[in-house]
């Protein structure tokens, strides 16, 4: 059995080493310099203590972290690309026998061949050194679509779906999102924070370091605000970087029509959101809507997304999932950052998204769990849409693992492993407007990496269910170590 540990700000190994040295010297009576053992031990203790203080201030070492000699250092891209698309999606940049240096600010200082880095950093000292010989290193994974704040599971619906019930049948009977809304309403902020944090800890072990997180099980403002506050509070303390997406239009609340719900969102919720954001209570950057037949149709979706955009939010929404609604065309016209699902995208929609470089966020777990047709990933990539991947973690599709999502993308949607990795890193980061800081190992970006115990990175996708992730580093610090 493997032991799994989530480490938040661990004691650096170098400090542990000094304490160990001190205790091993207690056996001798007089040192070479003629000090008593007590004096000598005190001197070492003081020097360790000073080193600890200095390292807290970032002074004892010239840099935070060196990851060296990786058989494959998978940087993904190196020209500060925002996205990779077309044939380029199948090109992943790899440095054979590579090393990477991360500075005290957690950002990448240098990346290159082990020899070049060794020559460039001869006088440098590092707080953490990761020996990666025989191993491979990839950027922290980026999950482009999740609904991670909720209470009350839906295992009973899974059973009903296995027996033949469809997603929309369950939805129309008040189950599905309606079920989760009722449970989430009944939960306190504290309960939701705890559940959210437990889920994040599990995602971290699967290498996720950047996450899009939606509200959307509140629907009324009081509960949407509660969810956005939970996302904001947990984001401040968890190692996973979180981008918050306001999804007040996830479903039409009980007792309202879609037109009435749209009016409430546009006239009441979005202005209240702007005020709460200005007051620092919440930090949504994106706006979402479930654009679907019988939920929010094109007209309402357009009104909600345009109002959110006017309020400074970027558009990143659910579209063309269960029925064709021309969401792709709508998103391209509005200048959306990303559109998710797209199982029923039209040819015109593909051309429009490609032209405007709108990221297509594909969610293979949805098609898998609902037994529906997966989106036409191959056609979309060939059309030039930058494709990203998300877990769609929610009570319908209970998946916390991006390596599993990549495996499904390859098998069910015929993506290559290179395309799946690009989709789960740089393109996914772009769908959250984070391509400048995440999604590849380039100088100036976050020092967020996943170390694999295999010399070929492809084992991350190939080894189903239990990927060979040895450690996860956020800003150069180990936040998960498999032992
Ligand atoms: O992306 N399609 C709408 N939203 C989610 C499902 C949410 C739920 O069923 O609770 C999705 O699959
Ligand atoms: Fe979703």
Average the pLDDT over each of 33-47, 156-170, 320-334, 468-482 and give the range with the smallest value: 33-47
CA angle 328–333–334, rounded 5-degree value: 100
Axis-axis angle for helices 270-278, 221-237 (nearest 10): 30
Q: How many domains does the chain have?
A: 3
Q: Work out the average pLDDT over 225-230.
A: 98
Q: pLDDT at position 297, please?
A: 97
Residues 26 and 163 in one domain: no
Give, as one character, the DSSP assignment of residue 446: B
Q: pLDDT at position 31, please?
A: 43
> Residues in the chain, how many?
483
Residue 29: domain span: 11-56
Task: Output the CA 245–ligand 2 centroid distance in Å.
Answer: 11
Helix intervals (H) in 123-219: 155-162, 167-172, 177-185, 189-205
Task: Output the CA 298–ligand 1 centroid distance in Å.
Answer: 18
Is 295 contained in some domain?
A: yes
Residues 153 and 133 in one domain: no
pLDDT band at 483 (very low <50, low <70, confident <90, very high): confident
Is 332 contained in some domain?
A: yes
208 lines ligand 1 (CB under 6 A): no
Does the pLDDT at position 302 exceed 90? yes
Axis-axis angle for helices 221-237, 177-185 (nearest 10): 80
Residues 106 and 243 in one domain: no
E-state strands within 337-468: 338-341, 359-362, 387-389, 449-452
Average the pLDDT over each of 18-27, 115-124, 152-161, 271-280 and give the range with the smallest value: 18-27
Does the pLDDT at position 66 exceed 90? yes
The DSSP bridge pattern shows strands 284-289 and 126-131 to be unpaired
Average the pLDDT over each of 8-22, 58-72, 255-269 and give the range with the smallest value: 8-22
Residues 393 and 260 in one domain: yes
pLDDT band at 41 (very low <50, low <70, confident <90, very high): low
Residues 269 and 415 in one domain: yes
Does the pLDDT at position 27 exceed 50? no
177 lines ligand 1 (CB under 6 A): yes
CA trace torsion 62, 64, 65, 66 (10° rounding): -10
Q: Work out the average pLDDT over 90-108.
A: 98
pLDDT in tens, 137-152: 999 999 999 999 999 9
Does the pLDDT at position 348 exceed 80? yes
Confidence (pTM): 0.90
E-state strands within 161-289: 208-214, 241-249, 284-289
Residues 296 and 386 in one domain: yes
* Rounded Cα–Cα distance for residues 324 and 460 (Å): 34
Residues 344 and 213 in one domain: yes
**Encoded tokens for 268:** 């009441």
99 lines ligand 1 (CB under 6 A): no
Does the pLDDT at position 53 exceed 90? no
Element (H, E) at 232: helix 221-237
Q: What percent of the chain has pLDDT over 70?
A: 88
pLDDT band at 85 (very low <50, low <70, confident <90, very high): very high
Residues 154 and 43 in one domain: no
CA 85 to chain centre: 20
Is 445 contained in some domain?
A: no
Residues 187 and 242 in one domain: yes
Q: 149 in helix, strand or coil?
A: coil
Residues 183 and 102 in one domain: no
Q: Work out the average pLDDT over 429-439.
A: 98
Residues 134 and 145 in one domain: no
Q: Work out the average pLDDT over 350-376.
A: 97
Atom of ligand 1 nearest to the CA of 217: 10
Is 447 contained in some domain?
A: no
Residues 46 and 88 in one domain: no
Of all protein residues, whose CA lies closest to atom 8 belonging to ligand 1? 177
- Give the CATH number of the domain where residue 261 resides: 3.20.20.140
Atom of ligand 1 nearest to the CA of 340: 1
């Amino acid at each position: 059995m493997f032991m799994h540990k989530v480490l938040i700000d661990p004691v650096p190994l170098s400090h542990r080493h000094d304490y160990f040295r001190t205790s091993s010297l207690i056996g001798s009576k007089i040192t070479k310099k003629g000090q008593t053992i007590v004096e000598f031990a005190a001197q070492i203790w003081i020097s360790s203590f000073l080193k600890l203080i200095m390292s807290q201030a970032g002074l004892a070492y010239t840099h935070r972290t060196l990851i060296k000699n990786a058989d494959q250092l998978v940087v993904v891209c190196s020209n500060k690309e925002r996205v990779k698309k077309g044939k380029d999606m199948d090109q992943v940049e790899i440095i054979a026998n590579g090393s990477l240096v991360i500075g005290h600010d957690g950002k990448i200082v240098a990346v290159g061949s082990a020899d070049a880095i060794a020559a460039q950093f001869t006088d440098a000292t590092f707080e953490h050194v990761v020996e990666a010989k025989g191993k491979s290193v990839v950027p922290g994974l980026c999950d482009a679509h999740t609904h991670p704040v909720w209470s009350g599971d839906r295992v009973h619906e899974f059973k009903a779906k296995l027996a033949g019930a469809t997603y929309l049948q369950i939805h129309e009977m008040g189950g599905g999102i309606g079920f989760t809304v009722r449970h989430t309403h009944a939960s306190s902020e504290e309960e939701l924070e705890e559940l959210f944090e437990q889920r994040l800890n599990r995602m971290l072990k699967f290498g996720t370091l950047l996450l899009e997180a939606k509200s959307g099980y509140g629907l009324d403002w009081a509960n949407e605000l509660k969810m956005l506050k939970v996302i904001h509070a947990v984001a401040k303390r968890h190692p996973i970087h979180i981008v918050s997406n306001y999804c007040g239009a996830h479903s039409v609340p009980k007792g309202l029509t879609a037109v009435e719900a749209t009016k409430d969102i546009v006239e009441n919720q979005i202005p209240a959101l702007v005020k709460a954001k200005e007051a620092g209570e919440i930090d949504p950057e994106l706006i979402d809507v479930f654009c679907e037949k019988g939920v929010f149709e094109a007209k309402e979706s357009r009104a909600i997304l345009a109002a959110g955009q006017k309020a400074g939010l970027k558009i990143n929404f659910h579209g063309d999932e269960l029925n064709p609604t021309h969401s792709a065309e709508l998103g391209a016209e509005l200048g959306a950052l990303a559109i998710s699902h797209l199982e029923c995208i039209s040819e015109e929609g593909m051309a429009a998204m490609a032209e405007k470089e709108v990221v297509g966020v594909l969610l293979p777990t949805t098609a898998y769990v609902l037994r529906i047709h997966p989106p036409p990933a191959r056609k979309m990539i060939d059309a030039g849409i930058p494709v990203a991947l998300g877990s769609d973690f929610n009570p319908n599709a209970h998946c916390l693992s991006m390596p599993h999502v990549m495996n499904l993308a390859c098998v069910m949607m015929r993506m290559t492993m290179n395309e799946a990795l690009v989709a789960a890193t740089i393109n996914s980061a772009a769908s959250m407007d984070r391509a400048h800081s995440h999604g590849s190992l380039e100088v100036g970006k976050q020092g967020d990496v996943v170390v694999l115990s295999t010399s070929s990175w492809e084992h991350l996708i190939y080894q189903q269910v239990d990927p060979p992730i040895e450690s996860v580093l956020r800003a150069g610090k180990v936040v998960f170590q498999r032992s």
